Chain A
Amino acid sequence: MRDIISKKVQEMQPSGIRAFFDLVLGMKDVISLGVGEPDFVTPWQIREAGIYSLEKGFTSYTSNKGLYKLRLGIARYLKNRYGLKYCPDEEILITVGVSEAFDLILRSILEPHDKVIVPVPGYVSYGPLTGLAGGSPVYINTKESGFKITPRLLEKHIDIKTKALVLNYPNNPTGISYSRKELEAIKRVVLRHNLLCISDEIYEDLTYDFSHTPFPILSGAKNNTVYLNGFSKGYAMTGWRVGYACGPKDIIAAMTKIHQYTIMCVSITGQMAACEALESGRAPVEEMKREYKRRREFIVEGLNKLGLDCHKPSGAFYAFPSIKKTGLKALDFATRLLKEQNVALVPGTAFGPFDDYVRISYACNFENLKEALKRIGDFLAKRK
């Protein structure tokens, strides 16, 4: 075999549960609680705007930063909703989902061996992308503090090479989020060490118990924060691939430099649809949110009743129950449940060293959720 793949990529850890994913995808009639995207279709008025833009012949490139109209819409939205001010000309970049934005930031700021703090359990791409950009991820296990990063934990892991902290709230896979007070405490540490906070707030629309606080509105934090968001989760627009980054203009300018060579611009159809999402108001988002919240109550109660201890997630559409009592390890649990009951979920090990946990997505219709819970109950009963 020729030796053509770079060391960097060779060293990227392939996901340990790839084989499990393949197993799920090869099976028929699976009830899936393993999906990381809404089960809703994009609201019709947004789809219609996308179709209309095609009919009118909007099929060109846009400016690298994205349609001005969309950046302006985002600036207005953040100002009206949170009092958060970003200049559409210099402080907002439209990206191919949050994923691209995340990659751009790391490539913009990291020197070799710079460290990035990544709390786990966390979304799968943060660590590998940090490595790809030449940095080293520093994973902090948050299990003992209710899956939340605390100032003490943070302080313990910061050293001279630490450049950034990744926050993701509401969190995938745990669904936990932070109150304003908790964020203030984290912010003080971030500022004391002059870190950049990369705040992935893609699930902000799905916060159930208290109002969401964006990291950059905390006083003094804005200059040390890149705020990441998009349309995928709240508006059920995952496949359109439209996200955005808001931050200090030097960072956004650096990100734009890379973006213009690698991506050029986000598809105009997606951008046009996103404009409509902002213009047509939040009624569909609020309706979906109410539905998710009702499912949350149902699934969390159901899981706890079955003896799978589960904290109540305050956002997103995930529950992260402990399977410790079953005596099974996460991958084993997931594989057996799949084979015996045709129910798919994601083993906790996908998100860090969490062999006692599984992620359950309640972004699936209520009938399936009910049936899946019943099957999990049957599965557990058989093991007793």
Chain B
Amino acid sequence: MDQILEILEKEARRSPEEIAKMLKKKPQDVRKAIKKYENEGLIVKYKAVINKELIKNDGSEVRALIEVNITPQKDLGFDRIAERIYSFTEVTSCYLVSGTYDLLLIVEGKDLQTVSKFVSEKLSPLENVKGTVTHFLLKKYKEDGVILKHREENKRIAISY
């Protein structure tokens, strides 16, 4: 993977000037490369990783992993029905997987009822959906490579040879 991507994947706010210094490139070349990655869709978007469990008051959000069994459509396979499902805004992620079920969804809602309602009223009734299994998430330990628990820093002595 290009080092520009490696750097941005870790820290999206690193500026093209800083990246240019780190990689001994010209800032305009880095900017051009980033633009290219953005246009090609390699860099999809920049967003903050938020530990929602720490949000006070309205932070109560419920997430569920949902296994979905579907009947593929002639000529279109799973793609068409997957599109119908992932187009719901409640669905934050959607994967086609191998194994005992076909689609794995991550669904978010403001409470248990909202998610249940989505499953029973929107998802299950779909013509090609044969069955669903819903797992509500109880605790998040790590997400997208980021460990969410606040950890004690490794304390090095401040000066040594």
Contact = CB atoms under 8 A, between A and B. Distances in A.
Contact of B160 (A27, A37, A39, A302): A37
B6 interface: yes
B44 interface: no
A290 B160 contact: no
A347 to B, nearest CB: 11
Nearest to A42: B154
Interface in A261-316: 290, 294-295, 297-298, 301-302
A298 B161 contact: no
Given A290-B6, A297-B21, A297-B23, A25 B157 contact: yes
A243 interface: no
B161 A24 contact: no
B158 to A, nearest CB: 4
Contact of B161 (A32, A36, A301): A36
B9 interface: no
Interface in B31-79: none
Given A25-B157, A344-B159, A297 B22 contact: yes
A382 to B, nearest CB: 23
A35 interface: yes
B94 to A, nearest CB: 30
Contacts of B161: 36, 123-125, 172, 346, 350
Interface in B103-161: 154, 156-161
Given A36-B161, A172-B161, A370-B18, A294 B7 contact: yes
Interface in A307-331: none
A37 B18 contact: no
Interface in A10-51: 21, 24-25, 27, 30, 32, 34-37, 39, 41
Interface band, chain B: 10 to 19
Contact of B159 (A24, A41, A125, A294): A24
B98 interface: no
Nearest to A346: B159
Given A124-B161, A172-B161, A346-B161, A295 B156 contact: no
Interface string A325-353: 00000000000000000001010001000
Given A298-B18, A301-B21, A34 B3 contact: no
A125 B21 CA distance: 35
A14 to B, nearest CB: 14
B24 to A, nearest CB: 5
B152 to A, nearest CB: 11
Nearest to B7: A294
B48 to A, nearest CB: 16
A125 B158 CA distance: 19
A35 B159 contact: yes
Nearest to A367: B11
30 contacts: A24-B158, A24-B159, A25-B158, A30-B158, A32-B156, A32-B158, A35-B157, A35-B158, A35-B159, A36-B161, A41-B154, A123-B161, A124-B161, A125-B161, A172-B161, A294-B3, A294-B22, A295-B22, A297-B21, A297-B23, A297-B24, A298-B18, A298-B21, A298-B22, A301-B21, A302-B21, A344-B159, A346-B159, A346-B161, A366-B18
Given A21-B159, A172-B161, A298-B22, 16 more contacts: A25-B157, A32-B156, A34-B158, A34-B160, A36-B160, A39-B154, A290-B6, A294-B3, A295-B22, A297-B24, A298-B18, A344-B158, A344-B159, A350-B161, A366-B11, A366-B14
